[in-house]
Structure 1
Amino acid sequence: MYQINTLALDDPKRSAWDAFVDQHQDGTFFHLCGWQLVLQQSMGHPTYYLYATEHDEIVGVLPLAWVKSKLFGNALVSTPFCVYGGAVGAPEVRRALEQKAVEIGRELGVDHVELRYRDPQDNDWLTRSQHATFGCELAEDDAAILAGIKKNQRALIRKALQTEMSWHLDSDNQDFYAIYSESLRNLGTPVFSKQLIDALQQVFPTQTEILTIRNGHEAVSSVFNFYYKNQVLPYYGGGKPSARELKSNDLMYYQLMCHAKKDKNCTFYDFGRSKLDSGAYSYKKHWGMQHQLLHYQFKLINATELSNLSPNNPKYQLFIKMWQKLPLAVSRWLGPKLAHYLG
C-alpha cells in the first residue's frame, strides 16, 4: 500500500516532489511545490500538498488548497489560480490520492473537491468540461512561426510589424500590473492582488518573465509568462484600450513565440485555457492552434449541486456592467478582496 503524506513548507521532500513532477509526463508547472508557498503567503489559502510514497520514494502528488468564502462557496481545489491540476502518478496512485482529498474535504466541511485535470480520468467523479486549452509546436524561426498562423491573424501581425512598436522584457511588474488591472476592469472582472505577481516572481525567478509592447515610450500591452519543460505559457495578459487599434496584443503574442523559440529554446507554445464560446476562445481559434477539451472533476461533499460562478451566468451580468464603470483606483483596491476567492 502507498503511504500518503502532507508536504510541509520546510519538508526535505520538496526537492523530490519537484523532481517527480519534472520527470512525469503529466506534471505541469502548476504542480510544482513552489505554488504552495505562493498560495499561502500571497493569498492566505491553507494548503494540503499530498504525496504518495512507496519504499520512501515519491510515486504520486496532489496539490490542494482550501478556498472558503461566504459569497463564492467553500472548496478544496487542485489548484486555485491554476489552469491545470489534479493528481499525478500511476492510475492506482491517483485514485488513492483522490480518496485522501475526499477525506480532507469532509474534515473541512467543504461544498466540493475540484481537481483540474487535462485528460479524462477513470473514476466515479463528476466531470465538467467548460474550457479548452490551445497550443502549437513552435516552428524553427520567426518567418516559419508567422507562416504557421492563420491568414487573417497573420495579416494583423504583419500590419503591427510595420509600425514602430517595440517589445521589451521587464523585470519590474509595475507597467504589467497597471495594464492588466485596467484590462480586467474593462472586462468587468476583479483583478487579484499585485502580491500574487510579486510572489510568483520571487518563488519562480527563472521560470517567469514579463514581455511588454511599447508604442514609443508608452506601454500598451503586456503579458506575464511561465516557462517549463521547453514550453512557454502566456498566463496573465492585457492591453490598454488603444491595443485593439494598434494590434499590439497580436504583436505581443507573436513576439513571445519568436522569443521563446530563439532565446529560451522552447518547442511548444501553450496559449492557455479559455471558456468555450467566449471571446477569448474565439480569439485563440483565429490563430489556428490545436485545442484540447479540459476535464475538470468534482466530488460533492456538502453541496447537492455544483455552483455556477461563470461570468456567463445571467445573475452576474449586472455586477459585470457595474464593475466596468468603476474608477480604476477603486477596482484595484476592491478587486483583490474578491478575486482572492475566485481562483
Structure 2
Amino acid sequence: MSETNTLTLQAVCPIDTPEWNTFVEAHPDATVFHTAEWLHTIETIFEYEPRHVLLTEGDTDNEDGTVHAAVPGFVVSDGFGQSVLNPFCEYGFPLIDDAVDVAVLSTLQDADETRIIKDTGWSGVCGYNAAGYGGVPTGSSIRLSLDRPFDELWESVFEKDVRRCVRTARDHGVSVIDGSVDAFYPLYLETMQRLGSPQFPKQFFASLADTFGESVAILLAQHDEDTIAGVFLFEWDDTTIVWTPASKRTHWDHRPNHLLYVEAIKRACVASRSVVDFGRSRRGSSVHRFKAQFGGFDYPLTSFVAPPHRAGRASLDGYGRLSTITPYIAPLITHPSVGPTLKKLIHE
C-alpha cells in the first residue's frame, strides 16, 4: 500500500473485496470486463499474477474508506519482458469517479514495470495523450445505441443489405436457438482453425457461463438440424457485448451471421438495454464493414503505456503481419495442446 496525492493505492483481490463490485456496478462507464467475476475467471483459468488496485481515501478495511478508482490488471509476458494489462478484452481502462483529478496511469507507474491501459473514447477517462503516455491505436469498436424501438432500427438504422440478408437466412430455413458451451465450442474451434488463430480452452467458456449465469447468452443458428453459426454474448447491466462469433464458411450463403446479430440486437431491445457493442475490429477490414451495416458509432481504441518509451508492447501490428501465413500453419497453432498455451502467451 502506498500514498499518492492524498489517495491510498491498495492492491486487492476483487472477488474477495465487496467494495470492488460495488464501485463497478455504480460506475456509468463500467463494462463486464471490470467485474470481479471476469477477473476471477481469468485468474483461475490462465493463472496470471493479479495486479488489481483500488484508489481510496482512508482504508477499504474500515467503513471510512471511500473508493475513487478501480484499475484491473494482470502481469503477462509480452515477449520483451512483462507488462500489466487486462487481457482478452477491448476495455481495461480505469474506472474513476468525478471526485478524482489525477492521472491514474501516472499514479500507477513503476519504473520496473510496464502498465498498459486499454481505453476508448466513451470511457470518460481523461488526462492521457498519445505523446505523453505512449498511445498506440489498436482498432475501433462499433457501439449501437438502442435509442428507439427495434422496428425503427430495422427500418431506418440497419443498412438495406442487413434486411436482405436476414430475409435470405429465413428463406433458407435458418433458425436461431439458445445454445450451450458444448454445442458452441466445436463451431468456435472450427472457426479458429480456419483463421489460424489460437483458441481459448473450452473450460474458459464453461467457467464464464457458470460464473455469469443469466448475464451470458449463447445463440446458435441452425439449418437442417446442423449448427452453422453461433455467438457468445455478455448481457451485463445495460449493455450487450457480442464477444465471440463463430460460423461455418460453407454456409455463409445462408447469411446466418446477419440473422444472429439481428436476434442479439432484438434481445437487447426486449431487455431494455441501452447499447449493443460489436467488439474490436480493424477499420477497413471485412469484419469491420460487416459490423458497420447495423449502424452505431465507431469509437477508436487506444492503448496507453507507461513508461511511454515501451509503447511498442501494446502494438497489434505484428498479429496483422502474421495473418497471411497463419492459415497455413493452423493445424499446429490450434492443436489442443498448443492453442490454449499460445492464447495465454498472446493474451489478446
Identity %: 19
What is aligned with 2:75? 66
2:173 aligned with 1:168, yes or no?
Answer: no
Distance verdict in 2 for CA 1:313–1:232, change over 3 Å: closer
Residue 224 of structure 1 aligns to a residue in which SS? strand
Distance verdict in 2 for CA 1:9–1:289, change over 3 Å: closer
2:296 aligned with 1:294, yes or no?
Answer: no
Deviations, residues 176-218 of structure 1 (Å, cap 9, x unaligned): 1111111121112111111211221122112111111111211
Residue 237 of structure 1: CA displacement?
A: 0.8
| 1:85 counterpart letter in structure 2 | G
Residue 244 of structure 2 aligns to a residue in which SS? strand
2:280 aligned with 1:278, yes or no?
Answer: no
What is aligned with 1:260? 268
Structure 1 distance, partners of 2:341, 2:101, is 34
Residue 163 of structure 1: CA displacement?
A: 2.8
Distance verdict in 2 for CA 1:68–1:301, change over 3 Å: farther
Q: Determine which of 203, 214, 221 is the counterpart of 2:222.
A: 214
Structure 2 distance, partners of 1:149, 1:227, is 21
| 1:115 counterpart letter in structure 2 | I
Structure 2 distance, partners of 1:161, 1:256, is 16
Residue 267 of structure 1: CA displacement?
A: 2.8
Residue 134 of structure 1: CA displacement?
A: 0.5
Residue 92 of structure 1: CA displacement?
A: 7.7
Contact 2:247 2:257 in 1 (8 A): yes
What is aligned with 1:46? 49
Structure 2 unmatched ranges of 5 or more: 1-5, 58-63
Structure 1 unmatched ranges of 5 or more: none
Contact 1:45 1:65 in 2 (8 A): yes
2:239 aligned with 1:231, yes or no?
Answer: yes
Residue 319 of structure 1: CA displacement?
A: 4.1
Residue 221 of structure 1: CA displacement?
A: 0.7
Contact 1:223 1:236 in 2 (8 A): yes
Structure 2 distance, partners of 1:178, 1:74, is 33
2:84 aligned with 1:76, yes or no?
Answer: yes
2:42 aligned with 1:36, yes or no?
Answer: no
Deviations, residues 83-129 of structure 1 (Å, cap 9, x unaligned): 111211147847464235322x72xxx4x321011137323311122
Structure 1 distance, partners of 2:26, 2:228, is 38
Distance verdict in 2 for CA 1:275–1:210, change over 3 Å: same
What is aligned with 2:126? 121
Contact 1:164 1:215 in 2 (8 A): yes
Structure 2 distance, partners of 1:116, 1:307, is 9
Contact 1:5 1:51 in 2 (8 A): yes
2:5 aligned with 1:3, yes or no?
Answer: no
Count of residues in Structure 1 that have an aligned counterpart in Structure 2: 329
**TM-score normalised per structure 2:** 0.85
Distance verdict in 2 for CA 1:51–1:254, change over 3 Å: same
Structure 2 distance, partners of 1:266, 1:146, is 16
Structure 1 distance, partners of 2:174, 2:94, is 43
Distance verdict in 2 for CA 1:259–1:163, change over 3 Å: farther
Structure 2 distance, partners of 1:10, 1:220, is 37
Deviations, residues 237-296 of structure 1 (Å, cap 9, x unaligned): 11012231110111111111112222x332321111212222211221233332111232
**TM-score normalised per structure 1:** 0.87
Distance verdict in 2 for CA 1:142–1:98, change over 3 Å: closer
